[in-house]
Structure 1
Amino acid sequence: MFMAKEYKLSPQRLKELQDELTYLKTTREKEVAELIKEARSFGDLSENSEYDEAKNEQGKLYARIGELEDILSNYVVIEEDETEGDYVRLGSIVTLFDKEFQEELTYKIVGSQEADPMNGSISEDSPLGRALLGKNAGDEVVVDAPAGPVEYKLMKIER
């Protein structure tokens, strides 16, 4: 049996996605319908680039709506609980020491829908995220990267 992917979202990200879906289904859908109507009025659809563009935009809109509906029909809200033990989990901010490059790195562990590695948010589904989950400060962490294993020491965990 096929199990749908379960998306882990922070309460903040859940609201962002719900707001985006509402905007797309109301405001944006009307705008795109208007573009198509306007483009149709230009006549011959076979040579009408405005019409093609508007239909393309509509396709992208419906694809994004579908994607959002999929996420919002299958999510779990991650509550950031202060009382649990001091180990890495969703919502943790970790400070790592990269042994090879002798530098400290700080990341926030987030659900895959919120990952933004360039801005310090890594997915719990990423190789590093998976390696860190459940670990405690002081633990050694080895991540199998394409270029070979990368070793980190988990310096501290914050919420």
Structure 2
Amino acid sequence: MSNVSYYTAEGLKKLKEELNQLRDVERPLASQAIAEARDKGDLSENAEYDAAKEAQGLLELKIAKLEETLANARLIDESQLDTSKVLVLSTVKLRNKQNGMEMKYTLVAESEADLKSGKISVTSPIGKGLLGKKVGDTASISVPNGTLKFEILEITRN
């Protein structure tokens, strides 16, 4: 069974652009490389042909995976999201109870995660631990070096 993934409009647009790039640019280039290698003679001893065929197979696999991801992608209507608890696309302000440090994360789909810009995946340990929590709740999150406790200070939408 396929997994449904939720995306922002920006994330869905990036997926579609990547798929179009693979279909419209990379696929014809792979076919051209195979044709050029085929023209060089005996296919049984043609390493260039074998490499081109393998590259085409990997490209087709990547295209198929992206098509499946897009088929199971759902656009999130941000106006319909509840701000009383942590959900996908929530921006959450947290305080680490051990050291008092405050941080802010936005929970996004796995493919949109970017820690540098404060976007973490809902499937990450912290993302999973925060889902469903409300302001004032404490989230206990198991990480490889123990358990972190975060207090939810604020939940907003961008």
Question: Shorter chain as normaliser: what TM range?
Answer: 0.7 to 0.9
Q: Which range is displaced more, 72-81 or 113-122? A: 113-122
| Structure 1 Cα separation of the partners of residues 51 and 118 of structure 2 | 36
Do structure 1's residue 50 and structure 2's residue 12 form an aligned pair? no
Task: Quote the residue 1:110 is aligned against.
Answer: 108
Q: Which range is displaced more, 114-123 or 72-81? A: 114-123
Residue 137 of structure 1 aligns with an amino acid whose one-letter code is V
Task: Quote the residue 1:66 is aligned against.
Answer: 64
Task: Quote the residue 1:32 is aligned against.
Answer: 30
| Per-residue deviation, 1:70 | 0.9
| Per-residue deviation, 1:58 | 0.8
Residue 38 of structure 2 aligns with an amino acid whose one-letter code is R
Aligned residues: 157
Task: Quote the residue 1:21 is aligned against.
Answer: 19
Q: CA RMSD in A?
A: 2.1
Task: Quote the residue 1:139 is aligned against.
Answer: 137
Q: Which range is displaced more, 39-48 or 120-129? A: 39-48
SS in structure 1 opposite 2:103?
strand
Q: Residues 98, 45 of structure 1: CA spacing in aligned structure 2 closer, same or farther, 3 A cutoff?
A: farther
Write 1 or 2 for the structure with the bigger share of helix. Answer: 2
2:84 pairs with one of 83, 86, 103 = 86
SS in structure 2 opposite 1:106?
strand
| Per-residue deviation, 1:142 | 0.5
Q: Which range is displaced more, 37-46 or 88-97? A: 37-46
| Structure 2 Cα separation of the partners of residues 152 and 53 of structure 1 | 50
Q: Deviations over 1:99-144 (max 9, x none)?
A: 3344222221011232234543211122211221122223211112
SS in structure 2 opposite 1:66?
helix
Q: Which range is displaced more, 49-58 or 89-98? A: 49-58
Flag structure 1 segments of 5+ consecutive residues without an equivalent: none
| Per-residue deviation, 1:32 | 0.8
| Structure 1 Cα separation of the partners of residues 52 and 114 of structure 2 | 30
SS in structure 2 opposite 1:18?
helix
Identity of aligned residues (%): 38
Moved over 6 A (4+): none
| Structure 1 Cα separation of the partners of residues 70 and 31 of structure 2 | 24
Task: Quote the residue 1:128 is aligned against.
Answer: 126
